[in-house]
């Protein structure tokens, strides 16, 4: 195996936008009675801007994921999404977020199958021997259905918050057309898709079986995905939470097509695709569990086989209302949530320090801070939200930051010291609790 492991790339120092500085001052008042939580928030809320963000000369923005010098479409959105509510009156945030949207759209036109990209076309790759159609711009080419959904999520949220439409240029519409073409192709993966991915590194979850095509599927109307949001290969290639996210993204693209581009034919095309995917979710994506009742499966193949689990990454089953597919009080979601937070979920762990959801991407017994943050964000009761914040506060391993996974019995044993997405999601939870006057 030949794998590119580059040294940390120093990012230019970025002056914090005034709106972000104002939030930090607000926290000093509202969290003064919780000094450790205050310090965690002051570290995590600006972390993306202080350590991972680079303003490019072409007006775009490049955001590395943290300890890897590449930009994931998914991660970069979640690294900045907590700044969007502050952007309406802040020109610096508009430059940062609007520039990130523009760079996303350029990348999607380069390769809609890729999940992570380089700053320039330098031909750097996570693995130099991957068997797939690589580009010098592409760091990794694992097709993860959710990646592009995040791009649309950011653009739509930014537009709704600021009412600015300068991001919606001809390149944006071309990217939307590429997305629709891609997703229609991947509805019939085996018949129409050119995509293959093989990585010969001895790690089964890094490669697609069946000569890079993936395992067989039945047509359902849902969209095929090669990999999960954890970057691990799917067991069954209809990932249900990712398809839910695609339904939401299609609704958001419809909104943009109707009110910005005024293209009603495109609106109809988007609506039909949305209906097809959603029908597939409702028909094939719900499993009748003997203990929890009807729950959403994590994955299915359309032949009646199901993967019943939840993963700490977003999108996952826990994050369904966060994505906007349904509300937190939806009956099937609540059943699913109960399943995910039980030992029926093979990646739910309980230890002396914490309990929560982990991932097959990290060792057994490791809980993810992102899973705890998402559980708090999607919780209905204030009591559960506050309990999750307290658990997060107590499990930073005395580092002052969030991590990827940590051992359920010992938070000082963890993976990824620098993981900006995890910091941002934690900051989002705490900031919302502050605004709701829970803290």
What is the pLDDT at residue 66?
Answer: 81
Tell me the CATH class for 18-24+47-343. Answer: mainly alpha
Backbone angles phi, psi at 227, to 5 degrees: -135, 160
Task: Compute the distance between CA of residue 307 and CA of residue 207 in angstroms, rounded to an integer.
Answer: 18
Task: Compute the distance between CA of residue 199 and CA of residue 1 in angstroms, rounded to an integer.
Answer: 9
The CB-side HSE value for 143 (13 A sphere, CA atoms) comes to 29
Kindly give, in sequence order, each residue whose CB lies less than 8 Å from that of residue 153, ignoring residues fewer than 6 positions away.
Answer: 77, 81, 245, 248, 249, 252
Dump pLDDT digits (tens) for 409-421: 999 999 988 899 9
What is the pLDDT at residue 3?
Answer: 37
Dump pLDDT digits (tens) for 351-375: 999 999 999 999 999 999 999 999 9
What is the pLDDT at residue 7?
Answer: 41
Distances in Å between the Cα of 71 and the Cα atoms of 53, 104, 272 are 10, 10, 32
What is the pLDDT at residue 269?
Answer: 98
The strand ranges marked E within 217-257 are 238-239
What is the pLDDT at residue 366?
Answer: 98
State the virtual CA torsion across 348, 371, 202, 298 in degrees, nearest 10: 70
pTM for this model (two decimals): 0.96
Task: Compute the distance between CA of residue 195 and CA of residue 143 in angstroms, rounded to an integer.
Answer: 8
Dump pLDDT digits (tens) for 284-329: 999 999 999 999 999 999 999 999 999 999 999 999 999 999 999 9
Per cent of the chain over pLDDT 70 is: 97
Cis peptide before 188 (omega within 30 of 0): no
What is the pLDDT at residue 1?
Answer: 28
Token representation of residue 174: 């071309």
Domain boundaries, given as residue ranges, for the chain: 18-24+47-343
Dump pLDDT digits (tens) for 177-225: 999 999 999 999 999 999 999 999 999 999 999 999 999 999 999 999 9
Q: Is residue 11 predicted with pLDDT exceeding 70?
A: no
Kindly give, in sequence order, each residue whose CB lies less than 8 Å from that of residue 160, ignoring residues fewer than 6 positions away.
Answer: none
What is the pLDDT at residue 396?
Answer: 97
**Owner of token pair 């993810």:** 368
What is the pLDDT at residue 67?
Answer: 79
Q: Is residue 4 predicted with pLDDT exceeding 50?
A: no
Q: Is residue 10 predicted with pLDDT exceeding 90?
A: no
Question: Could you please report the per-residue DSSP string of 123-171?
Answer: ---SBTT-BS---TTEEE----HHHHHHHHHHHHHHHHHH---TT-SHH
Task: Compute the distance between CA of residue 61 and CA of residue 103 in angstroms, rounded to an integer.
Answer: 6
Cβ–Cβ < 8 Å for 346, 336:
no
What is the pLDDT at residue 54?
Answer: 97
Q: Is residue 56 predicted with pLDDT exceeding 70?
A: yes
Question: Could you please report the per-residue DSSP string of 178-194?
Answer: HHHHHHHHHHTHHHH--
Task: Compute the distance between CA of residue 283 and CA of residue 302 in angstroms, rounded to an integer.
Answer: 9
What is the pLDDT at residue 102?
Answer: 98
Relative to beta strand 238-239, strand 286-289 is unpaired
Token representation of residue 424: 């941002």
What is the pLDDT at residue 140?
Answer: 97
Token representation of residue 182: 């891609």
Task: Compute the distance between CA of residue 197 and CA of residue 131 in angstroms, rounded to an integer.
Answer: 6
Dump pLDDT digits (tens) for 66-91: 878 899 999 999 999 999 999 999 99
Kindly give, in sequence order, each residue whose CB lies less than 8 Å from that of residue 25, ignoring residues fewer than 6 positions away.
Answer: none
Mean pLDDT score, 235-240: 98
The CB-side HSE value for 153 (13 A sphere, CA atoms) comes to 27
Question: Could you please report the per-residue DSSP string of 419-435?
Answer: BHHHHHHHHHHHHHHHH
Task: Compute the distance between CA of residue 143 and CA of residue 64 in angstroms, rounded to an integer.
Answer: 19
Cβ–Cβ < 8 Å for 162, 230:
no
Question: Could you please report the per-residue DSSP string of 83-103?
Answer: GGGG-TT-HHHHHHHHHHHHH
């Amino acid at each position: 195996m030949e794998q590119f492991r580059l040294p940390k790339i120093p990012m230019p120092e970025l002056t914090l936008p005034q709106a972000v500085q104002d939030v930090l001052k607000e926290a000093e008042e509202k969290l003064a009675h919780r000094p450790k939580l205050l310090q965690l928030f002051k570290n995590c809320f600006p972390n993306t801007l202080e350590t991972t963000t680079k303003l490019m000369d072409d007006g775009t923005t490049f955001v590395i994921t943290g300890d890897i010098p590449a930009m994931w479409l998914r991660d970069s959105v979640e690294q900045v999404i907590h700044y969007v509510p502050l952007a309406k009156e802040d020109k610096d945030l508009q430059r940062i977020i609007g520039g990130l949207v523009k760079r996303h759209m350029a990348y999607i036109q380069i390769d809609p199958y890729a999940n992570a990209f380089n700053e320039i076309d330098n031909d750097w790759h996570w693995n130099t021997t991957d068997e797939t159609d690589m580009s010098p711009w592409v760091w990794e080419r694992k097709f993860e259905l959710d990646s592009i959904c995040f791009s649309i999520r950011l653009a739509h949220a930014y537009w709704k918050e600021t009412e600015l439409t300068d991001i919606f240029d001809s390149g944006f519409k071309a990217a939307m057309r590429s997305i629709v073409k891609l997703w229609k192709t991947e509805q019939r993966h085996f018949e129409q898709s050119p995509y293959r991915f093989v990585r010969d590194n001895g790690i089964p979850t890094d490669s697609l079986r069946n000569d890079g095509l993936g395992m067989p599927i039945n047509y359902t109307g849902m969209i095929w995905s090669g990999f999960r949001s954890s970057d691990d290969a799917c067991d069954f290639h209809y990932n249900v939470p990712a398809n839910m996210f695609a339904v939401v993204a299609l609704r958001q693209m419809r909104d943009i097509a109707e009110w910005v581009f005024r293209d009603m034919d495109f609106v109809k095309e988007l609506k039909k695709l949305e209906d097809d995917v959603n029908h597939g979710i409702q028909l094939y994506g719900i499993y009748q569990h003997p203990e929890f009742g009807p729950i959403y499966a994590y994955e299915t193949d359309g032949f009646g086989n199901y993967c019943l689990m939840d993963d700490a990454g977003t999108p996952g089953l826990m994050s369904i209302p966060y994505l906007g597919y349904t509300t937190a009080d939806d009956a099937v979601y609540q059943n699913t949530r109960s399943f995910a937070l039980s030992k029926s979920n093979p990646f739910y762990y309980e230890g002396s320090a914490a309990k929560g959801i982990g991932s097959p991407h990290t060792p057994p017994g490791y809980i993810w801070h992102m899973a705890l943050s998402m559980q708090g964000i999607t919780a209905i009761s204030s009591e559960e939200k506050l309990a999750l914040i307290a658990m997060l506060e107590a499990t930073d391993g005395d580092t002052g930051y969030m991590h990827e996974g940590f051992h359920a019995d010992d938070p000082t044993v963890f993976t990824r010291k620098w993981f900006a997405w995890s910091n941002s999601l934690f900051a989002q939870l705490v900031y919302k609790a502050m605004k709701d006057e829970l803290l």
